[in-house]
Structure 1
Amino acid sequence: MIADYTSALHDGPWHHELVPANGARFHAAVCEPAEPRPAPLVVLLHTFPQYWWAWRHQLPAIAAAGYRVAAIDLRGNGASDKPPLGYDTPMRTRDVAGVVRSLGADRAVVVGHGTGGTVAWAMAALQPAVTAGVAALAAPHPARLHVSGRRVLTRVARRHLAFAQVPGVPERALAHGDLVDRLLDDGAVVPFERDVVETYRTALRIPFAAHGALEGARWPVRSLSVPSGRRFTGSMRRRIDVPALLAIGEHDPFVRRRGVDTDAAALARHLRIEEVPGVGHYLPEEAPDAVSALLVDWLDDVTSRPGPRAA
C-alpha cells in the first residue's frame, strides 16, 4: 500500500504549515500559545525512523506554558520534500535555520531527539545566529573529543546502524517489512502500542520517505571517511555558549549511559544533564508527561537568562 504526504498530517491542537527553506519545502506542525510570552520559537526535531508526530504530546504542553512551538519533518521525512541529495547534518542545520525564518522567527530553541538531537547540537556550532538554546534527548554530542561513537552506542544500536548502510534492502524493510517494529521494540523499555507503530510504518510508505529517512541515518557513518565529515567533526568542537540540556533514558538500549555526557560537558558552558527514570531511547513517547515537564522547566530557565528573548 502506497501512502501520500497527507498521511503525515494528523489532526490535533496544532495547525500544519508548508514553508520554503533552503531550496525545498518543509512541513511544520505549529502550536500557538493562548498567552504568548516574549520567548524564542521552540523547534522540535524527530529521530529515525519517526517524523514530527513523535512530539504530539509535547506540542500542546509546551504551548500551554506560553511558548510558540513547531515540530518539523526533517528533509526526506513525513510531509517535507524528499530530494535525492542533502542528507548530511550541515545541510540539515541550514534547513532548520531556513524553517525558523520562514515561520517568522529570528531565533529558536532547538530540541532534538536521537538523530534529530545530533542536528540540534550542530545548530549551536553551525547556525549560532538563529540558535537560542539546544536540548538533546538520547543524543550524545557528536564532537568525539573524548568518547567515540562506538563507545557510546550499544551493540544493538551499532547492528541497526550497520544494516542501514546496505543499499536498497533497508528501504524495503522499512516500507514493507518489519524494520520499524524492530527499531521501536529494540529501543523502547515502555512498549509502543501497535496502532502507533502502524502510523510510523504508514508514513514510511510515502514515496521516497524510506530512502530519505535512511539517508539521514547513513550520513554519520559515511562522514567518517570523507573530508566534509572530518570538517564537520572539527566544527563540532566549538564552545557552546547558549544554554544546553542533555536528557538520557535510564535504560536506553541504544545509548550507553557511561560517558554519554563527557563531550557535552566539555563544550557547553551552561549544560543541564537529566536522566529520565524507567524509560529507554524514545523518551518523548515512553515518558510524555515527564519529558514535557522537563522541557518546560528548562525553557523557563533559558528564557529567564539575560539576553535576547523574542523571536
Structure 2
Amino acid sequence: MTDGTMRDAASTLVEGPWRHRFVSANGARFHVAELGDGPLVLLLHDFPEFWWAWRHQLVTLAEAGWRVAALDLRGFGASDKPPVGYDTFTSAADAASVVRSLGEGSAVVIGQGLGAWIAWSMPSLQPDVTRAVVALGCPHPLALRAASLTLPTQLQAGRTFAGLQRPFVPERQMGDPASGYVARLLTEWSAPGANWLDVAITSRYADQMALPFVAHSAAEYYRWMARSQLWVSGRRWAAALRRPITVPVLHLHGAQDRAVLPETMGGSMRYAAAGLDAHLLPGVGHFVAEEAPVRVSTAIGEWLAALPR
C-alpha cells in the first residue's frame, strides 16, 4: 500500500543553478537538468535515484567547461513512464536520441549503477553518438553477469536485484515511502556509516520512487537484465557487447560497495580495446557520485580534460 498521498513529478524539478527542460526523443518525453557550455556530457543516474543524484557533478563539470545534462531515465523523475521500453537496447536509443535532441552529434556518457550499465552499452549499441564512457559502481555488463554467476559473494550481494524479479511485491514496497525500502537500500548499499545520507535525502528519493508508475518502471529494468538471458533479444545484446569498445573508458568503483562488489571489476579490461582507466575509491560504497562528490568530480574532470575536444 502507499500512504495515500498524491504526488506530482513536478516535485523532482529541484531548483538550483541548472535549468530544467523537456525534450522529445525516441518516442517519449524526457526531462534533463542542464548547465554549462561546451562539449556535451550526458549523466545517467542509478536506482533508486533520479537526475538529482548528479547535483554535485552538474556544477563542477560545467565550471570545467562542459555542457552537462543530467537525464531522468525513462520511467523515472519527470520523464515519461510508458509501460514498455525498459530493455537496454531502448535505454541506449533513448540516451542517443536525447543527445541529438539537445542539438549535439555526440557526447561523453557518464553513468552510475543502472546508468553505468547503459553507458557501458552505448559504444556497442549507439557508437556514433558515444565519444567516451565513464562508469561508476558497475563493471562492464558482461563482466558483471559472469561475476554474478561465478562469485557466491556477488550472488548474495545481488539479492535485492533478485528480489525485483518477483511480480507486484517490489512495486508495493518501493511505492510506499512508509515501508522504508528506499532508505534501507540507500543505507545498505553505501559504505558503513552512510555519512552522506540524511532524512531529507532519503525522503526525496523515497518520494520520487512513490510517483505513479516509477516503481514498476524501475523493476522492469532489472527484470529485463535477468530474463533476457533466455530471450533472443538478450542474446543479441550480449553478442553486441562482446565487440571491443573503441572509445576511452573511465571506471570508478567504491572499495566498500556492498551491491556490486569490487571483485567484479577485473573482468572489464577484456572489453576495452581503447584502454580502461580503473580506480578503486577507499571508504566509498555503491553511490560513488554522492558519497565522494569531490573525489569523483576531480577524477572525472581531470580525465575529461585529457580527451580531445
TM-score range, shorter chain: over 0.9
- The reply to whether residue 17 of structure 1 matches residue 17 of structure 2 is no
- The reply to whether residue 32 of structure 1 matches residue 36 of structure 2 is yes
In 1, the alpha carbon distance for the partners of 2:21 and 2:150 equals 40
Q: Tell me which amino acid in the other structure corresponds to 1:239.
A: P
In 2, the alpha carbon distance for the partners of 1:95 and 1:83 equals 13
Structure 2: stretches of 5+ with no match in the other structure:
none
Partner residue of 1:268 out of 256, 273, 279: 273
Note the C-alpha offset of 1:155: 4.3
Report matched runs for 1:141-290 at 5 Å. Answer: 141-144=140-143, 147-151=146-150, 154-176=154-176, 177-189=179-191, 190-191=194-195, 192-290=197-295
Report what 2:305 is aligned to. 300
Q: Is the 8 A contact 2:249 2:272 kept in 1?
A: no
Distance 1:155 1:148, change over 3 A: closer
Q: Is the 8 A contact 2:144 2:264 kept in 1?
A: no
How many residues in Structure 1 have an aligned counterpart in Structure 2? 299
Q: Is the 8 A contact 1:237 1:267 kept in 2?
A: no
Q: Is the 8 A contact 1:45 1:116 kept in 2?
A: yes
In 1, the alpha carbon distance for the partners of 2:144 and 2:256 equals 24
Q: Is the 8 A contact 1:54 1:285 kept in 2?
A: yes
Note the C-alpha offset of 1:20: 0.3
In 2, the alpha carbon distance for the partners of 1:145 and 1:137 equals 13
| Deviation sequence 1:140-168 (CA, Å, 0-9, x none) | 10124994333467245321011111111
Note the C-alpha offset of 1:243: 0.8
In 2, the alpha carbon distance for the partners of 1:255 and 1:198 equals 24
Note the C-alpha offset of 1:23: 0.3
In 2, the alpha carbon distance for the partners of 1:81 and 1:225 equals 28
Structure 1: stretches of 5+ with no match in the other structure:
304-308
Q: Tell me which amino acid in the other structure corresponds to 1:66.
A: G
Report what 2:55 is aligned to. 56
Q: Is the 8 A contact 2:148 2:155 kept in 1?
A: no
Distance 1:151 1:253, change over 3 A: farther
Note the C-alpha offset of 1:267: 3.1
Please say which of residues 135-144 and 12-21 is displaced more in the overlay.
135-144
Q: Is the 8 A contact 2:122 2:130 kept in 1?
A: yes
Q: Is the 8 A contact 2:157 2:261 kept in 1?
A: no
Q: Tell me which amino acid in the other structure corresponds to 1:149.
A: S
Normalised TM-score (structure 2):
0.93
Q: Is the 8 A contact 1:140 1:264 kept in 2?
A: no
Q: Is the 8 A contact 1:146 1:262 kept in 2?
A: no
Q: Secondary structure at the match of 1:166?
A: coil
Q: Tell me which amino acid in the other structure corresponds to 2:157.
A: A
Q: Secondary structure at the match of 1:199?
A: helix
| Deviation sequence 1:183-216 (CA, Å, 0-9, x none) | 1011001341111000001111221111111111
Note the C-alpha offset of 1:258: 2.2
| Deviation sequence 1:259-306 (CA, Å, 0-9, x none) | 423233443322101111211000011001111111101111123xxx
RMSD: 1.6
In 2, the alpha carbon distance for the partners of 1:248 and 1:265 equals 17
Q: Secondary structure at the match of 2:262?
A: coil
Q: Tell me which amino acid in the other structure corresponds to 1:229.
A: G
Q: Tell me which amino acid in the other structure corresponds to 1:73.
A: D
Q: Tell me which amino acid in the other structure corresponds to 1:186.
A: E
Identity across the alignment (%): 45
| Deviation sequence 1:57-115 (CA, Å, 0-9, x none) | 11000000000000001100000000000100010000000000111111000000101
Report what 1:306 is aligned to. none
In 2, the alpha carbon distance for the partners of 1:268 and 1:300 equals 21
Q: Tell me which amino acid in the other structure corresponds to 1:60.
A: V
Q: Tell me which amino acid in the other structure corresponds to 2:85.
A: G
Q: Is the 8 A contact 1:246 1:261 kept in 2?
A: no
Higher helix share: 2
Q: Is the 8 A contact 1:46 1:55 kept in 2?
A: yes
Please say which of residues 71-80 and 258-267 is displaced more in the overlay.
258-267
In 2, the alpha carbon distance for the partners of 1:194 and 1:295 equals 28
